[in-house]
Amino acid sequence: MADSDIRSYTFGTLVTAMVTPFTPDGEVDYRQSAELASKLVDDGNDALVISGTTGETSTLEDDEKEKLFRVIVEAVGDRAKVIAGTGTNHTSHSIEMAKRAAKAGAHGQLIVTPYYNKPSQAGIQAHIEAVADAADLPVMVYDIPGRAGVPILPETMIRLADHPRIVALKDAKADFNAVTRVLANTDLDVYSGDDGLTLPWMAAGAVGLVSVSAHVATRQFRALIDAALAGDFATARTLHFELDPVVRAVMTHIQGAVAAKQVLKWQGVLPNSVVRLPLVEPGEAEIATIREDLAEAGMVFS
């Protein structure tokens, strides 16, 4: 895809929600984080989400997040957009993180539905707008009821689209009718938040994907998205089928951050697969299942 086409979208079309590498003793490995970010951009990402779900945001300290934002901006900020995961279920805390993200030089922020609290739709809207107001950063809203406990209804998302800083939606609720209503009634850049739904969402008008599996298969996802944007759905469908076992390996057996780190270790991209509690590294049976799926995709590791 031509650079001019990528630039027509605030955050591009392929975005990886990046894992946070740790040292063997569980500290954030900022050098490794910068190297991973550089590789992902080299391989075709237009943007990266830092300190999102896959980045283990729930177990990162605020100072660690702010430093990560700054380190990744320094590493790739001249070549790709850095989207800071600022959203929490605590509005004033999210506002503080939005301000920190702006101070660190981030190009945008990802605001997730407030989780656990189960607010009303009015509460969801008020929370997201308050965080969007807190920093001069374009916003991608993250709708993931499987983690948040509540969905953002289409009517709410349509109202949120009137906010001048809210420019994109990461849709991870697998409701085709709902995303169709948003696409039909807003100018938002809509991204599939489910790796396996990239093709059908883009067929309806989504601009791309915010991915976990793209950590380990960036070039294939890049090719799928480019084909779909070009209207070449025969090629996109072939790539969709080829990527299916990769998506199964990373997204269906264990938590995505755990699986992605394990595969990145096998690929020699990360030196370890350390995660922070309450996440734990995969057991032997889980590893065997992941290996079987990857072998189906032609990815075999010793």
What residues act catalytically? Answer: 142, 170
Residues 286, 98: Cα–Cα separation, whole Å: 37
CB-based contact 219:196 (threshold 8 Å): no
Cα–Cα distance measured from residue 134 to residue 159, given in angstroms and rounded to the nearest whole number:
18
Task: Assess contact for 6 and 54: CB atoms under 8 A.
Answer: no
* Burial profile 237-270: b = 16 or more Cβ within 10 angstroms, e = fewer: eebbebbebbbbbbbebbbbbbbbbbbbbbeebb
Tell me the Cα Rg of the chain: 18
> In one letter, which amino acid is 46?
D
State the residue for tokens 């009821």: 145
Q: Which residue has the tokens 């590498």?
A: 21
Tokens of 125: 């809207």
